[in-house]
Structures are given as C-alpha cells and as structure tokens.
C-alpha cells in the first residue's frame, strides 16, 4: 500500500511539473513580441528585399 501511495504521489508531482511547464509555454506564446517586431519594421520601412522575404532566390 505504501508503494502505491508513493507511486501516485510521484505521478501527481510529474503531472504538476508538466502542467506548470505547459502554462509557462502558453504564457510565452500568448505574449510574444510579434506586434513589437512588426511595429519596428513598419517604422523603419524595410523592404521585402532588405529582409529577404520576397520569396525569390538570388541569382548567381
């Protein structure tokens, strides 16, 4: 019986660690800096060619 309780407590601890990690990851994803990055790019007026986002490969 003691081993069963110990095993269940270990499972609960592992579950709490996983939930805490997932919550931290979700918080990071929801509060990313994409808006700030887009504002920075807009204010500095970079072109797609400057950022290499035009989809064309450079010809050699």
Spell out the residues 6+ positions from residue 54 whose beta carbon is closer than 8 angstroms to its own.
48
pLDDT digits (tens, 9 = 90+) for 5-58: 999 999 999 999 999 999 999 998 887 766 666 777 677 776 767 777 666 665
Flag whether the pTM goes above 0.75: no
The sign of the dihedral angle between the CA atoms of 26, 30, 36, 42 is positive
Structure tokens at 16: 């709490």
């Amino acid at each position: 019986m003691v081993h069963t309780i110990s095993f269940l407590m270990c499972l609960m601890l592992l579950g709490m660690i996983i939930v805490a990690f997932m919550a931290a990851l979700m918080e990071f994803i929801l509060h990313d800096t994409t808006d700030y990055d887009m504002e920075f790019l807009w204010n500095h007026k970079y072109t797609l060619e400057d950022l290499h986002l035009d989809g064309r490969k450079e010809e050699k």
